[in-house]
C-alpha cells in the first residue's frame, strides 16, 4: 500500500535532508573484541517505526530517514496490526485514533473491546479493511513532537510494502496482541507464516510479549535465520497466557530460552532509576541472560523523554551507559531517534576520557558546568574542569564593599534564594540594567551574598525540564581572586574568560569594575605568566578599549542580539578593539518556529577578518535545540562546528562538547558516516507542506557601526556611602527584613548621642 505521491514525497525527504552524504558501515573502526555483547559484535540499532521521533511512526518518511541517518545495517521495526480482512499493516497501536486522521475520514463512533482483560475504547484496525484504510493518513501521535510533517499524507503501509519499498538490511516484526486478534477470529500466526514464506520479504526478528504465541511459532523458525525474541512489559503487568507477571518470568530465563533467542526489556530493567530520576546500581539481567545464551535488547529510548539526571539531558551519554560501562553491553537498542545510538556506538564507545582531540574546537564554560550545579559556584567550576573545559569563565559582579565576585547575573534573584530571605525588601528597578525589578549585587556586601543559597538555573523549566534537583542549592560562590587561584593551579585549563557588563553604570555608582579586574589579575600573576591565556569579554566596546594597550589579554566582543549580518565597516570597527566575537546560535542558523530557516554568512565574514567566532549558548535540553538537530546536543554541536565552521562553543555542559571533539568519526575524511555529518540548514522546513508552514519571520537586523561604537567609560564616581571594613562580618538581617546593627557600632553611637545631649543641656 502507499500512494505514488506519498512515496515520491518521502524519497524527496531523504534526498533533500542528506543528499550530499553517502552511507558507510555502521561499525566503522570500533574494535569488535571490546564489545561485551553475546556475540562480541557491536550492538544493533533498531528504529521503532523508523525515525519516529521526527516523522509519523511507521510512515515511509520515518523509515527512509532511519535508513539514511542510522547505521547501514539499521533494523526497521514494524508493529504489526491486522485489518478486518486479515491484512498485516505497520502501525504503532491496536487503536488507529492517535496516529492517524481516521476520525476525520470516518464518522464511526469509538467502540470498546477487551484488550488483555482491560476495557479499551477507540477505533480499531479489526473494524476496517485494507481498502478502507487506503484513504487514511498517518500523523504524529506524540503531541510534544512536531506535527508539521502531517501534511505529507503518508499512507498506512502493509508489512510487505514496507519491506519491498525500503529494502532494509534488517527487518523486525513485533506482534503485540496475538490473543486479541485470535479472539476476533484473526490469525497472527497465519499472517506471520505467509510473510516469512514470501521470497520477496526477509524477516530477521519476530518479537511478542505473549509466551503462547512465541512457543507456537518457535519450532517453525528453529532452523531459520529469523530470531524469536520475548518482549517484557512492565514488571507488574501480567502475561496473558501464563498468568504470571513479567517480573516473575524474569526469574526463569532458562524457560524463556526454550522458545526464544533473546529478550527485549525496558531500559529501566537494566538501569533502574529512583523516584527522583537518579540512576541506581545496574541489575544483573544482561549478564544473567548472556549466561543463558539469550541476547538482550533494551527498549524505550527517546531523545525527548529524560531518563536520569545522571545523564545531564545528553542522549549519547545515556546510550553509552548501556553499551560501554565496562561490565556489560546490551545487544541492541530500540529507539525513536536512530541517529543517536548509531553515533554513540560507532563514534563514542570505548574512546576513553583521555582520547586525543579530533577537532580544533574551543570549549568555554558558561558559569562553569551550570547544567549540573548552580552556576559560578565552586562545584560548577570543579565539574567543568573535570569535564574537560578549555576556558573557565567568571562573569564579574561588584559587591557593596567593592569586592569583585563571580556570578552569572548582577541580579541576585536569578541565581540565589534572596527572595526568601530578609533581603527581599531591597528590590529596585534600574532601567539602565534591566527593565524588570531586581536585587543587585552592589546593594549587598560580600558577607551578605555569601549567606545566600545558590540556586541552579533551569532555563527550560517552562517545559518542566529541571536540572539536577538533588544539588539545586549546592556549592558556594567565589570572589574573583578565589576563582583565579583555582584556575591558576589547574594545569588542564588553557585559560580563563572574565566577562564584564554594566561597567558604565557601575562607574557612576562608584564601582570601578575594570580596575578591580585588572588588580585581581595582576595579584594572581596573570600579567606575567604565559601558561594560561586571559580572555576579557564584554558587549561594551568601551570596556574592551579600556583594556586595549594595557595588557596582552585576548579581547572578546559579545554581540548581545541576534543578527543576520554585519556591515564591513562595522567589522573593521570591531577589529580595532577585539580579536574574537561571541554571537548567538540564531546569528549562525536563524530559526523559524524551532526549524532552521537557513544559514547566514556571519561566521565566514568575521573569520575572513581574522576574528575568531565563539557561539553561545549550547545546552543539552532538547527543547533548546531546533527540530533539525533531532533532540541531540551532539548533532547540534557537530552542525555548528563542521557545518558552520565556528571556532568555539560556550556551553552549560562542557562534558558534551569535550566528548564530541574526541570522537573517532571526525577524522574519516570522505568516509564520515551520515550520523556524524552536519545537518543541512533549512532542509526540514522545506519538507513542511504549505498548509503547515509557519509564518515567515522578519530577517534579523544587520550589525551597524552605531551598535558598536561607544563613548569612553565615565570616570568612577566618588561615593560617600560607608563600606563595610574588610574582614568585618556583616550582621544578619532581622526578622522584619531590616539589618541588625552590630553592637560595636551601637555603643560608640550611643556615647556620641549622650555627649551631644549633655552639651546642649548645659
In a domain, 146, yes or no: no
Q: What is the mean pLDDT of residues 550-579?
A: 96
Grid coordinates belonging to 592: 523559524
Q: Which of 646, 668, 692 is the last residue of a domain?
A: 692
Largest CA distance in the chain: 120
Please provide the DSSP assignment of 323-343 as one string: H-SSS---SEEEES-THHHHH
Q: What is the DSSP letter of 193?
A: H
Q: Please, what is the end-to-end C-alpha distance for the chain in angstroms?
A: 111
Nearest to 570 by CA among 667, 444, 704: 704
Packed helices 513-523 and 480-488: angle between N→C axes, nearest 10 degrees: 30
Give me the pLDDT at residue 752, please: 38
**CA geometry: angle 161, 164, 165, nearest 5 deg:** 75
Contacts of 544 (CB under 8 A, 6+ apart): 536, 538, 555, 556, 557, 577, 578
Mark whether 326 and 374 lie in a shared domain.
no
pLDDT band at 33 (very low <50, low <70, confident <90, very high): low
Mark whether 271 and 182 lie in a shared domain.
yes
| Rounded Cα gap, residues 590 and 561, in angstroms | 12
Give me the pLDDT at residue 354, please: 83
Q: Is the dihedral of CA 52, 57, 61, 64 positive or negative?
A: positive
In a domain, 470, yes or no: no
- Are 170 and 75 within 8 A, CB to CB? yes
- Are 43 and 331 within 8 A, CB to CB? yes
Give me the pLDDT at residue 720, please: 52
Give me the pLDDT at residue 719, please: 74
In a domain, 626, yes or no: yes
Mark whether 369 and 245 lie in a shared domain.
no
Q: What is the mean pLDDT of residues 85-108?
A: 96
In a domain, 599, yes or no: yes
757 has a pLDDT exceeding 60 = no
Mark whether 186 and 326 lie in a shared domain.
yes
Task: Please give the backbone phi and psi of residue 100, each rounded to the nearest 5 degrees, phi first.
Answer: -150, 175
| Rounded Cα gap, residues 105 and 691, in angstroms | 18
User: How confident is the model over 244-262, as pLDDT tens digits?
Assistant: 999 999 999 999 999 999 9
Torsion from C-alpha of 309, 679, 556, 445, nearest 10 degrees: -20
Helix (H/G/I), strand (E/B), else coil: 79: strand
| Rounded Cα gap, residues 469 and 274, in angstroms | 13
Mark whether 396 and 281 lie in a shared domain.
no
Nearest to 54 by CA among 642, 658, 622: 622
Mark whether 337 and 390 lie in a shared domain.
no
Q: How many domains does the chain have?
A: 2
pLDDT band at 486 (very low <50, low <70, confident <90, very high): very high
> At 622, which CATH number?
3.20.20.190
12 has a pLDDT exceeding 70 = no
Mark whether 233 and 192 lie in a shared domain.
yes
| Rounded Cα gap, residues 563 and 566, in angstroms | 8
Packed helices 480-488 and 378-386: angle between N→C axes, nearest 10 degrees: 20
Mark whether 636 and 526 lie in a shared domain.
yes
**Between 679 and 32, residue with greater pLDDT:** 679
Q: Which of 348, 374, 395 is the last residue of a domain?
A: 348
721 has a pLDDT exceeding 90 = no
In a domain, 233, yes or no: yes
Contacts of 332 (CB under 8 A, 6+ apart): 43, 44, 45, 46, 75, 295, 297, 298
Mark whether 295 and 402 lie in a shared domain.
no
Mark whether 301 and 368 lie in a shared domain.
no
User: How confident is the model over 171-193, as pLDDT tens digits?
Assistant: 999 999 999 999 999 999 999 99
Nearest to 627 by CA among 23, 46, 140: 140
Give the strand pairing for 391-398 and 404-406: antiparallel
529 has a pLDDT exceeding 60 = yes
Q: What is the DSSP letter of 390?
A: S
2 has a pLDDT exceeding 90 = no
| Rounded Cα gap, residues 157 and 584, in angstroms | 43
The H or E element spanning position 636 is: helix 633-638
Q: What pTM, to 2 d.p., does this model score?
A: 0.91
Mark whether 395 and 276 lie in a shared domain.
no
- Residues of the domain holding 333: 45-96+159-348
pLDDT band at 16 (very low <50, low <70, confident <90, very high): very low
661 has a pLDDT exceeding 60 = yes
Please provide the DSSP assignment of 518-574 as one string: HHHHHHTTTTT--SSEEEEEES-HHHHHHHBTTB-PEEEEE--S--SEE-HHHHHHH
In a domain, 111, yes or no: no
Q: What is the mean pLDDT of residues 381-405?
A: 98
In a domain, 370, yes or no: yes
In a domain, 430, yes or no: no
The H or E element spanning position 4 is: helix 4-18
How many CB atoms within 10 Å of residue 524? 20
Grid coordinates belonging to 59: 510512515
Nearest to 56 by CA among 679, 692, 694: 692
Grid coordinates belonging to 358: 579530533
Give me the pLDDT at residue 621, please: 98
Exposed e or buried b for every residue in 27-46, given b needs 16+ CB within 10 A? Answer: bbebeeeebbbbeeebbbbb
Mark whether 190 and 294 lie in a shared domain.
yes
Q: Which of 3-12, 532-541, 735-744 comes out lowest in average pLDDT? A: 735-744
Give me the pLDDT at residue 733, please: 39
| Rounded Cα gap, residues 731 and 673, in angstroms | 62
Q: Which of 692, 716, 740 is the last residue of a domain?
A: 692
Tell me what the pLDDT averaged over the chain comes to.
91
| Rounded Cα gap, residues 667 and 673, in angstroms | 11
Name the β-bridge partners of 393.
Answer: 497
- Cα Rg, the chain, nearest whole Å: 31
How many CB atoms within 10 Å of residue 750? 10
Proportion of the chain above pLDDT 70, given as a percent = 90
**CA geometry: angle 599, 605, 608, nearest 5 deg:** 135
Amino acid at each position: 500500500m502507499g500512494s505514488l505521491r506519498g512515496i515520491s514525497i518521502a524519497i524527496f525527504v531523504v534526498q533533500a535532508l542528506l543528499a550530499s552524504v553517502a552511507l558507510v558501515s555502521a561499525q566503522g573502526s570500533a574494535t569488535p573484541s571490546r564489545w561485551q555483547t553475546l556475540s562480541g559484535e557491536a550492538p544493533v540499532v533498531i528504529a521503532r517505526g523508523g525515525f519516529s521521533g521526527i516523522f509519523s511512526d511507521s510512515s515511509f518518511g520515518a523509515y527512509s530517514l532511519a535508513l539514511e541517518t542510522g547505521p547501514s545495517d539499521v533494523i526497521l521495526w514494524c508493529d504489526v496490526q491486522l485489518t478486518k480482512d486479515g491484512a498485516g499493516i505497520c502501525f504503532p497501536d491496536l487503536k488507529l485514533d492517535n496516529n492517524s486522521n481516521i476520525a476525520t475520514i470516518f464518522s464511526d463512533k469509538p467502540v470498546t473491546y477487551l484488550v488483555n482483560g482491560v476495557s479499551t475504547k477507540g477505533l480499531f484496525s479489526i473494524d476496517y479493511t485494507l481498502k478502507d484504510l487506503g484513504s487514511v493518513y498517518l500523523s504524529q501521535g506524540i503531541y510534544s513532537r512536531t506535527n508539521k510533517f502531517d501534511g505529507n499524507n503518508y499512507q498506512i503501509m502493509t508489512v510487505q510494502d514496507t519491506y519491498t519499498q525500503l529494502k532494509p538490511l534488517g527487518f523486525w516484526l513485533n506482534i503485540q496482541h496475538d490473543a486479541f486478534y485470535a479472539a476476533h477470529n484473526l490469525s497472527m500466526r497465519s499472517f506471520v507464516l505467509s510473510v516469512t514464506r514470501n521470497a520477496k520479504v526477509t524477516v530477521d526478528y519476530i518479537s511478542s510479549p505473549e509466551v503462547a504465541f512465541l512457543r507456537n511459532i518457535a519450532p517453525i523458525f528453529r532452523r531459520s535465520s529469523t530470531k524469536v525474541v520475548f518482549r517484557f512489559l512492565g514488571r507488574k503487568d501480567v502475561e496473558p497466557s501464563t498468568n504470571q507477571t513479567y517480573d516473575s518470568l524474569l526469574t526463569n530465563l532458562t524457560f524463556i530460552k526454550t522458545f526464544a533467542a533473546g529478550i527485549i526489556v525496558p531500559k529501566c530493567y537494566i538501569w533502574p532509576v529512583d523516584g527522583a530520576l537518579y540512576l541506581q546500581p545496574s541489575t544483573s539481567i544482561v549478564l544473567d541472560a548472556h549466561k543463558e545464551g539469550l541476547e538482550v535488547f533494551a527498549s524505550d529510548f527517546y531523545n525527548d523523554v529524560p531518563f536520569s539526571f545522571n545523564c545531564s539531558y545528553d542522549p549519547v551519554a545515556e546510550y553509552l551507559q548501556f553499551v560501554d560501562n565496562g561490565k556489560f553491553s546490551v545487544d541492541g537498542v530500540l529507539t525513536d531517534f536512530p541517529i543517536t545510538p548509531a553515533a554513540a556506538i560507532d563514534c563514542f564507545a570505548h574512546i576513553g576520557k583521555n582520547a586525543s582531540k579530533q577537532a580544533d574546537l574551543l570549549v568555554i564554560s558558561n558559569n562553569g558546568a551550570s547544567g549540573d550545579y548552580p552556576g559560578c559556584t565552586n562545584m560548577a567550576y570543579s565539574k567543568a574542569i573535570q569535564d574537560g573545559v578549555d576556558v573557565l569563565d567568571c562573569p564579574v559582579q561588584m559587591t557593596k564593599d567593592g569586592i569583585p565576585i563571580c556570578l552569572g547575573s548582577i541580579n541576585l534573584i536569578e541565581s540565589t534564594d534572596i527572595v526568601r530571605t530578609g533581603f527581599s525588601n531591597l528590590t529596585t528597578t534600574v532601567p539602565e540594567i534591566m527593565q524588570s525589578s531586581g536585587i543587585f549585587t552592589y546593594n549587598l556586601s560580600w558577607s551578605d551574598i555569601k549567606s545566600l543559597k545558590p540556586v541552579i538555573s533551569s532555563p527550560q523549566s517552562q517545559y518542566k525540564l529541571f536540572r539536577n534537583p538533588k544539588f539545586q542549592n549546592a556549592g558556594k560562590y567565589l570572589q574573583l581572586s578565589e576563582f583565579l587561584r583555582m584556575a591558576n593551579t589547574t594545569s588542564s585549563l588553557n585559560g580563563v574568560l572574565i566577562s564584564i557588563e554594566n561597567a558604565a553604570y557601575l562607574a557612576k555608582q562608584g564601582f570601578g569594575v575594570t580596575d578591580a579586574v585588572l588588580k585581581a589579575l595582576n595579584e594572581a600573576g596573570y600579567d606575567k605568566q604565559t601558561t594560561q591565556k586571559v580572555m576579557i569579554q564584554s558587549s561594551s566596546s568601551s570596556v574592551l578599549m579600556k583594556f586595549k594597550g594595557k595588557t596582552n589579554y585576548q579581547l572578546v566582543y559579545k554581540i548581545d542580539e541576534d543578527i543576520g549580518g554585519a556591515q564591513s565597516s562595522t567589522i573593521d570597527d570591531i577589529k580595532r578593539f577585539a580579536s574574537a566575537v561571541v554571537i548567538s546560535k540564531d546569528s549562525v542558523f536563524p530559526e523559524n518556529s524551532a526549524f532552521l530557516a537557513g544559514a547566514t554568512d556571519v561566521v565566514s565574514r568575521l573569520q575572513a577578518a581574522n576574528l575568531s567566532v565563539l557561539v553561545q549558548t549550547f545546552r543539552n535540553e532538547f527543547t533548546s535545540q531546533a527540530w533539525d538537530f533531532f533532540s541531540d546536543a551532539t548533532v547540534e554541536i557537530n552542525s555548528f562546528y563542521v557545518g558552520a565552521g565556528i571556532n568555539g562553543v560556550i556551553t552549560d555542559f562542557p562534558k558534551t562538547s569535550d566528548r564530541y571533539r574526541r570522537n573517532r568519526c571526525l577524522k574519516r575524511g570522505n568516509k564520515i558516516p551520515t550520523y556524524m555529518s552536519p545537518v543541512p540548514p533549512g532542509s526540514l522546513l522545506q519538507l513542511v507542506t504549505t498548509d503547515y508552514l509557519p509564518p515567515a519571520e522578519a530577517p534579523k537586523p544587520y550589525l551597524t557601526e552605531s551598535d558598536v561604537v561607544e563613548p569612553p567609560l565615565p570616570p568612577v564616581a566618588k561615593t560617600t556611602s560607608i563600606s563595610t571594613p574588610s574582614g568585618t562580618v556583616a550582621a544578619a538581617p532581622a526578622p522584619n527584613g531590616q539589618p541588625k546593627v552590630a553592637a560595636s557600632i551601637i555603643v560608640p553611637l550611643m556615647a556620641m548621642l549622650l555627649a551631644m545631649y549633655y552639651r546642649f543641656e548645659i
